[in-house]
Structure 1
Amino acid sequence: MKLTRIILVASLMLATSVANSAQLISAKEAALPAASGTLATRGISRGPSVKMVSPEADTPVASPIDFKVNFEARGEGKIDPSSVKVVYMKSPFVDLTPRLKGAISAQGIDFAKADVPPGAHTIRVTVKDNDGRETNSVFTLNVIK
């Protein structure tokens, strides 16, 4: 009886953790070929600052992950949350923005417990300020089993 109760509790905990996560990238999308070419970005920009906070750059992490990006306007500008675009760099490109809609604010993106399959996943985040200045930043998520 006690062993059955332990198994039941463990099963419920696993189901709860799966239920509390949301898919950021599907296995089918991860299997698409990588986008060809390189993303050209300017070295100096007056556009907003975009910084990946979580997961840490070049750090392998297990899924689900907390996907967190901070935005910071420069000067008198203010971030325009409706301008944010998040693209998975595959061929064809996969627009992740609709999946992140509720997690995007003027401060950044805060998407907790994102399901991402194992592998290296290149993501481009584009954001503009209210003066139309744009920044494109590319990040790679390294997800392990």
Structure 2
Amino acid sequence: MRLPGVVALVAITLLGLDPAWATRLISDDEAKLPPPKGAVVADRRGILRSPKIEVISPAQPTRSPVHLQLKFEAFGGARIDVDSVKITFLRTPNVDLTPRVKAYLQPSGVDMPDAEVPSGDFLVRVDLKDSDGRIGSTIFALKIAP
């Protein structure tokens, strides 16, 4: 486990909060927010040299907790700018998931082994930049069975 994850777990424990919240990706209240109008799953294939975001897991549909695994790939000698990564739960209003995923974020992607997500169908957007300033983005669906 990376040091930020350990620090977060210690802070949560000292505050008396349920440690399961440390891996909660989407709360029940957030899941009840209305979906945005017009949002669809999007993949930017065919755009050359822009960073690529690939959803490795979860397989769809699945049950919670899920293993959220994203793979980032930069091209042309560029590197992924980890500080530029933003993960958003598309709702009205949108919910920034980046702070919840930060401890599991690396230049190669995201590896969050036990992400708690309520049942339902949700859209998540991932945006990032590479060291050359090129933008990569994708929207993917999370289908969580009851």
Please say whether Structure 1 and Structure 2 have the same fold, judged by a TM-score greater than 0.5.
yes
State the 1:110 CA deviation.
Answer: 0.7
| Distance in structure 2 (CA, Å) of the matches to 1:89 and 1:38 | 8
Q: Tell me, yes or no, if the aligned pair for 1:35 and 1:91 is still in contact at 8 Å.
A: yes
Structure with max Cα Rg: 1
Listed as ranges, the matches of 1:20-59 within 5 Å are 22-38=23-39, 43-56=46-59, 59=60
State the secondary structure of the residue aligned to 1:116: coil
| Distance in structure 1 (CA, Å) of the matches to 2:48 and 2:94 | 25
| Distance in structure 1 (CA, Å) of the matches to 2:117 and 2:81 | 27
Normalised to the residue count of structure 1, the TM-score between the two structures is: 0.80
Q: Is the aligned partner of 1:126 residue 2:104? A: no
Normalised to the residue count of structure 2, the TM-score between the two structures is: 0.80
Q: Which whole-Å deviations, capped at 9, do the CAs of 1:86-140 have from their partners, x for residues lacking one? A: 0000010100000011111100011110000000110000111001100110110
Q: Tell me, yes or no, if the aligned pair for 1:45 and 1:135 is still in contact at 8 Å.
A: no
| Distance in structure 2 (CA, Å) of the matches to 1:65 and 1:116 | 7
Listed as ranges, the matches of 1:1-145 within 5 Å are 19=20, 22-38=23-39, 43-56=46-59, 59-145=60-146
State the 1:21 CA deviation.
Answer: 6.9
State the 1:46 CA deviation.
Answer: 2.2
Gaps of 5+ in 1: 1-17
Q: Tell me, yes or no, if the aligned pair for 2:124 and 2:141 is still in contact at 8 Å.
A: yes
| Distance in structure 2 (CA, Å) of the matches to 1:128 and 1:65 | 26
| Distance in structure 1 (CA, Å) of the matches to 2:95 and 2:21 | 23
State the 1:38 CA deviation.
Answer: 3.8
Q: Tell me, yes or no, if the aligned pair for 2:90 and 2:125 is still in contact at 8 Å.
A: yes
Q: CA RMSD in A?
A: 1.9
Gaps of 5+ in 2: 1-18
Amino acid at match of 1:34: P
Aligned pair count?
126
Amino acid at match of 2:140: F
Amino acid at match of 2:52: S
Q: Which 10-residue stretch deviates more, 77-86 or 45-54?
A: 45-54
Q: Which whole-Å deviations, capped at 9, do the CAs of 1:53-107 have from their partners, x for residues lacking one? A: 0112xx2100000100000111111111111000000010100000011111100
| Distance in structure 2 (CA, Å) of the matches to 1:110 and 1:83 | 17
State the secondary structure of the residue aligned to 1:66: strand
